[in-house]
Structure 1
């Protein structure tokens, strides 16, 4: 009897568990009801989706170089937009990350305010920033580059600062104990530890920005997304599917190349 009482949770604990699951189920059912979920609607939507997919096959094959070169130019713009946005964001985030790292900046309130500033920047979705910059600078890749760059400042600065905080302080202290300055301690003792991690973070974000650049093009920020939205608006579904295939191939190649570089950076001896 005593063994059974040890296994069975107390009555208040069981009551809280039941109330939690009842509340969760009620919230889930209310969301389905509020969003208009029904088996009939899902079935009708799947039928229309099947019609759209049927128009995509077979994929379109471009027979004229002028048309295909336009698609390649759009892919190149998306890739360049992601590269420039990531590079500019990393360029600004790198010095800010040292000011936001607890092991470097000992002043509590300035560091706290800077870290909260990173959170504010990250609160703005890249798509929202792109719409703002389109209104300010007009249509084209410039708005996409600025949107990615501003978004990356908040993301990379936070990740860089956390990576810096996780490094060992002994090499820095050793440099300073031998007569080196604070900047020399950072350059000689800290940067060799953290640079492979920072490069890996930057490359991973670049991969993500290549995919984000496609979405930004749909709202008018240039690149392959603009051409994709144009083909979808004209109901040229076979060309839409061909462009999607090219986007998948581009993302796959970028992911593979970036992953290979990250492995070389993190484990140079084994590579």
Structure 2
């Protein structure tokens, strides 16, 4: 059995391996201290109080009891129509955003458009659209086209156009270039390189991202309905105001079940698109 190397000899031979990185440690401690100080300032500034939370737990329990048992109370048909409208808003908004984001993504990709001015302009435009929350888009479109699901679909389309455009362009930039180079070597032009070299390679990834956004937008469509953009959110806000909590619980349960079903189906589709085995 070999004897363990002498620690002093190792330190003498490899001093850099045993040197204490004080600068890195102090930087890490300083960053942690800054985060804790910022958190403390935010808690004071926002009047955060653990006592208020504890005092409100009893009231929260009362609300939970009033929500049992969940019941549509004769409005099941209306709730189902509102849920279908919510799904329609999410589907149409996601589909519109994906269709618009696909050509914009190629303009924003550096390996497709080498022009730095055009690339910068498209990227910044996507950043602007992505920085505005879907709820703000809903309020804008309600004032433009009026109340209803059409405004909700437009709001989701605008919010997702920025996000999907960014994700699509990043997928195009990171795709394996061998197929595109093969098309170019075979005599293909720029459009042939995009159509036969880039699109088939990125399409599974783009489809997976669109499915994920549809699942997320089902919840977003519920939220924007609260401000009058159609869907089940309108019923939620009205019933909460009049404290019809059993019906509220039934609507929440409907949304949870719907999102779970969409998640299960879209998960299998995503795995199929990217080549994974369905579970």
Q: TM-score, normalised by structure 2?
A: 0.88
Task: Provide closer, same or farther for how the CA distance between residues 17 and 181 of structure 1 changes in structure 2, counting only shifts above 3 A.
Answer: closer
Task: Provide closer, same or farther for how the CA distance between residues 254 and 13 of structure 1 changes in structure 2, counting only shifts above 3 A.
Answer: closer
110, 113, 120: which one aligns with 2:121: 113
43, 46, 69: which one aligns with 1:32: 43
Q: CA deviation at 1:15?
A: 4.9
Q: Corresponding residue for 1:229?
A: 237
Q: Does 1:129 align with 2:140?
A: no
Task: Provide closer, same or farther for how the CA distance between residues 23 and 155 of structure 1 changes in structure 2, counting only shifts above 3 A.
Answer: closer
Task: Provide closer, same or farther for how the CA distance between residues 26 and 182 of structure 1 changes in structure 2, counting only shifts above 3 A.
Answer: closer
Query: 1: CA distance between counterparts of 2:31 and 2:114?
Result: 43
Q: Which moved more, 1:75-84 or 1:135-144?
A: 135-144
Matches within 5 A, 1:116-265: 116-265=124-273
Task: Provide closer, same or farther for how the CA distance between residues 15 and 157 of structure 1 changes in structure 2, counting only shifts above 3 A.
Answer: closer
Q: CA deviation at 1:38?
A: 2.5
Aligned length: 266
Q: Secondary structure at the match of 1:258?
A: helix
Q: Which moved more, 1:178-187 or 1:96-105?
A: 178-187
Task: Provide closer, same or farther for how the CA distance between residues 186 and 54 of structure 1 changes in structure 2, counting only shifts above 3 A.
Answer: same
Q: Which moved more, 1:26-35 or 1:190-199?
A: 26-35
Matches within 5 A, 1:80-119: 80-119=88-127
Instruction: Give a deviation string over 1:104-136, Cα, whole Å, max 9, x none.
Output: 111111111111111111010000010111112
Q: Corresponding residue for 1:59?
A: 70
Q: Does 1:41 align with 2:49?
A: no
Task: Provide closer, same or farther for how the CA distance between residues 170 and 142 of structure 1 changes in structure 2, counting only shifts above 3 A.
Answer: same
Structure 2 gaps of 5+ residues are: 1-6
Instruction: Give a deviation string over 1:53-84, Cα, whole Å, max 9, x none.
Output: 1100111154x4xx211000110011000000
Task: Provide closer, same or farther for how the CA distance between residues 77 and 21 of structure 1 changes in structure 2, counting only shifts above 3 A.
Answer: same
Structure 1 gaps of 5+ residues are: none
Task: Provide closer, same or farther for how the CA distance between residues 35 and 104 of structure 1 changes in structure 2, counting only shifts above 3 A.
Answer: same
